Amino acid sequence: MPSDHLLVQNTDHKVLQRPFRICAQAPPWLNSHSPGGPCRTESRLADTPTPLNEALEDDELLGDEPESDVLFRARMGAINFALGYWKMGVGALGGVLLVSLVYGLWTSHIQSTQRGYQAAVAAAFEPVQEAFQEPDEAARTASLTAIAKDVEAAAAAAEGPGAAYGWIRAAQMWEELDDDAAALAAWKAGHAVKAPGIVGWTCGIGYATALAESGDLAGAAPVLRQLAATHPGSEGAEAMAQLASLYIDAKQDAEARSVLQEIQTKWPDNLRAAELSVRLGAG
């Protein structure tokens, strides 16, 4: 359709064409016979529906967006969101990696420090074998006493499991020297560290046993019960078995039977329960 045609839809569903002028290079005979000369004005009314009328009358096309366009807009929205927040995502990932790095470095530092503590304790304890070979008892006792004090110094300078390990070594040496007071003090210091795992459990068992041997069974009982509460596995069962054994040694059979019943209820597979039953004469 020529560019000078303007289509307007009317209420009768017809297309009105505004008047237009036809200008062309006409032959000489047309100029002489046509009143308007080479250019004339015409007006027509389109009485039949056109494809454009049908398109304009289609309410679905005029009112609804095509599905493909919706999907395209959704994809573009997702891409724009990702491009808009990629820096934030990279920053969050960097933060996680940084925390992991710091945690790894800190863990490595702790492990290295603990190895250093244990190495210091081992170095202080190393001359023990040579001291035991002293032919003179007084010289042997003096050497072992000096070593025990060196081990205590290494334990006091340490922290965590390394310190507890040092106090265990010192307490064992004092027990070897039959110095019960020094051994009890070493066990108490090791228990006060509250080291996790088997090292802390060993300090608790040693401290409770030393208390009971010093005559303070009432002070030993809560230590062992606390160990049983914090070590619900076989270590906890062993702590309660040690308490029952201490009650038997102290001739407190009623308390021993009560503890034995607890063991049989909570840890029916504990091997020491049968031994304790025999000692109590309970069957």
Taking only the tens place, the pLDDT of each residue in 229-282 is 998 889 999 999 999 999 999 999 999 999 999 999 999 888 888 899 999 885
Q: Tell whether the torsion through CA atoms of 229, 231, 237 and 239 is positive or negative.
A: negative
CA angle 63, 68, 71 (to 5 degrees): 105
Backbone angles phi, psi at 151, to 5 degrees: -65, -45
Predicted local confidence at residue 106, as pLDDT: 54
User: Whole-angstrom Cα distance, residue 187 to residue 123?
Assistant: 20
Cα–Cα nearest to 278, from 250, 255, 239, 244? 244
Predicted local confidence at residue 109, as pLDDT: 60
State how beta strands 15-17 and 39-42 pair.
unpaired
Predicted local confidence at residue 5, as pLDDT: 43
Q: Are 209 and 203 in contact (CB under 8 A)?
A: no
Q: Are 263 and 241 in contact (CB under 8 A)?
A: yes
Helices (H), the chain: 28-33, 51-56, 59-63, 67-125, 128-132, 137-157, 160-176, 180-192, 197-213, 217-230, 234-249, 253-266, 272-280
Other residues' Cβ atoms within 10 Å of the Cβ of residue 161: 19
Predicted local confidence at residue 107, as pLDDT: 65
User: Whole-angstrom Cα distance, residue 283 to residue 274?
Assistant: 8
Residue 97 CB partners (closer than 8 Å, separation 6+):
none
Please count the CA atoms within 13 angstroms of the CA of 162 that sit on its side-chain side. 20
User: Whole-angstrom Cα distance, residue 29 to residue 31?
Assistant: 6
Q: Tell whether the torsion through CA atoms of 82, 85, 90 and 94 is positive or negative.
A: negative
**Secondary structure (DSSP) of 128-170:** HHHHHT-SSHHHHHHHHHHHHHHHHHHHHH--HHHHHHHHHHH
- What parts of the chain have a pLDDT lower than 70? 1-70, 72, 77-110, 282-283
User: Whole-angstrom Cα distance, residue 35 to residue 59?
Assistant: 47
Predicted local confidence at residue 104, as pLDDT: 64
User: Whole-angstrom Cα distance, residue 120 to residue 166?
Assistant: 9
User: Whole-angstrom Cα distance, residue 205 to residue 168?
Assistant: 11
Predicted local confidence at residue 240, as pLDDT: 96
